[in-house]
Structure 1
Amino acid sequence: MTLKHFFSTWLLAACAATSAVAATEIHGVKIEDSITLAGSKLQLNGAGTRFKAVFKVYVGELYTSQKVSSLDELIAAPGPKRLSMTFVREIEAGPFGKLLTRGVEDNVPKNEMSKLVPGLIRMGDIFTVNKVLVPGDVIYLDWIPGTGMVVTAKGKVQGEPFKEPEFYKAIMSIWFGPSPADFKLKEALLGQK
C-alpha cells in the first residue's frame, strides 16, 4: 500500500465517520432514526436547524410512516406523524406563538383564515402560558388519526387535541408551505438536502 493510497483511504474513512456522527446529532440534539408514536413505528423523514438571521433557534425533526417530499404528501401519508422542535437558544414563547400565526397567514389563502382563527387563538394561548423556551425544551406537534393534533410542550400535553385536519395542514404549512419561515429547514425536513 502506497503512502498516498493509505492517506486517501484514511481520509475517506474519516469523512464517513464524520458523516455518520452528523446524521445522529445536530447542534448537540440527538436525532433518532425512528420513534414510536400511538403504537406505530415512524421513520425520520428529515432534520435540520431553524435559523433566525445568524442565530440557531431550534433543531426540527419530522417523523412519518413513509417518505414525504411535500406538504400534500405529508398530509396524505397514513398513520401518525410528528414534527418536533428542540430549542437550542432561549426565546420568549409569546412572540414565537405570534410567528406561528404569521407563518399560517403567509401560507394559507385569505378566504380560509376565518375558519382557523379559533385554533390559532388556542395555539397562541399555549405559547403564552409557557412564557420562555430554553435550550433543551422540546415541542411536539403530533398528528394522531382519530384524535387530531396533540401539542406537547416541555413534556406536558397542552390542552385538548386540535381535531380538524384543515387546521393541522395550516400549521404544517408554516414549515412546508409555499412561503416557509426557513426554506433550508423545509428542504432538510423533507430530506432534500
Structure 2
Amino acid sequence: MKKVLRGVFGLLCLLTIFPLGAAELAKVTIPDRITLDGSDNTLVLNGAGIRYKFIFKIYIGALYLPEKTSVSEKIINSTGPKRILMHFLYDKVEKQDLDKAWREGFLANQDEQAMAQLDQRINRFSALFTDAVRGDEIWLDNIPDAGTRVYINGELKDTISGSDFYPALLSIWIGSDPVTTALKRAMLGQE
C-alpha cells in the first residue's frame, strides 16, 4: 500500500511540474493554453511541430484554437479566434528568406484570383518582418471582425484587414500544399 501511495504522490508531483497538454519541442515549452491580447478568448494547443529545412531546425510551429480538431478544412473555414505561433530555433533566418517563404506559401495554396485580391496585403504583411534569430517569436492571431494581428516578440506590429487573409495565411501550414506535411500533421494534432 505504501508503494502505491508513493507512486501516486510521485505522479502528482510530476503533474505539477509538467502541466498536462503542454508540449516541449527542442527544449522549448509550448503552453497548452493561451489568451489572446485584449480579449477573453482562451485557446488550446491543437498541435505543434518543428519546421525542418534539410537537417536544420528552423522554427517550432504551433496552432491554437477554441477547441481541438484535426480537420484542416474546418479550421481554415472557421471564423473564430486562432493563433499560429512561430518560435525560431535557427541562428538567423534572413528577411529575404522569410519574404520568399511567405510568398511561396501563399502561391502554393491560392489560385490566381485570390492572389490578386491578397497581393497588396501580402506585401504589407511581409514588410513587417526583419531577420529572425533564435528565440524570436511571431504570433499570427485571427481576431474576428478585426483581421490578422501580427506580433513579433510580443509587440503588436500591425493588423491586416480582411476576412480572407487569415485563412490564406493558415493554408501555408495546413492547406492542400503545406510547407511540409510533417508540420501540417503535427499542427493538426495527428502526431
What's the secondary structure of 2:148's corresponding residue? strand
Question: Aligned partners of 2:24, 2:41: CA distance in 1, in Å?
Answer: 23
> How many pairs does the alignment contain?
175
| 1:83 to 2:84 alignment | yes
- 1:190 maps to which residue? 188
Question: Aligned partners of 1:33, 1:94: CA distance in 2, in Å?
Answer: 32
- Contact 1:64/1:77 (8 A) holds in 2: no
Alpha-carbon offset, residue 182 of structure 1: 0.9
- Kindly indicate which of the two structures has a greater share of residues assigned to helix: 1
- Contact 1:107/1:177 (8 A) holds in 2: yes
- Contact 2:47/2:63 (8 A) holds in 1: yes
- Contact 2:77/2:167 (8 A) holds in 1: no
* Mapping of residues 1-193 of structure 1, within 5 Å: 24-37=23-36, 38-77=39-78, 79-89=80-90, 90-127=92-129, 130=130, 132-159=131-158, 161-193=159-191
Question: Aligned partners of 1:42, 1:21: CA distance in 2, in Å?
Answer: 15
- Contact 2:125/2:160 (8 A) holds in 1: no
Question: Aligned partners of 1:78, 1:66: CA distance in 2, in Å?
Answer: 13
Alpha-carbon offset, residue 21 of structure 1: 9.5
Deviates more, 1:181-190 or 1:90-99: 90-99
2:108 maps to amino acid? D
* 1:12-35 per-position Cα deviation (integer Å, ceiling 9, x unaligned): x9xxx9x98996310021111111
2:112 maps to amino acid? K
* TM-score, normalization by structure 2: 0.83
Gaps of 5+ in 2: 1-10
* TM-score, normalization by structure 1: 0.83
* 1:148-172 per-position Cα deviation (integer Å, ceiling 9, x unaligned): 110011222112x112121111111
Question: Aligned partners of 2:54, 2:73: CA distance in 1, in Å?
Answer: 28
What's the secondary structure of 2:31's corresponding residue? coil
Aligned pair in 2 of structure 1 residues 118, 107: CA closer, same or farther (>3 Å)? same
Alpha-carbon offset, residue 117 of structure 1: 0.5
What percentage of residue pairs aligned between the two structures are identical? 37
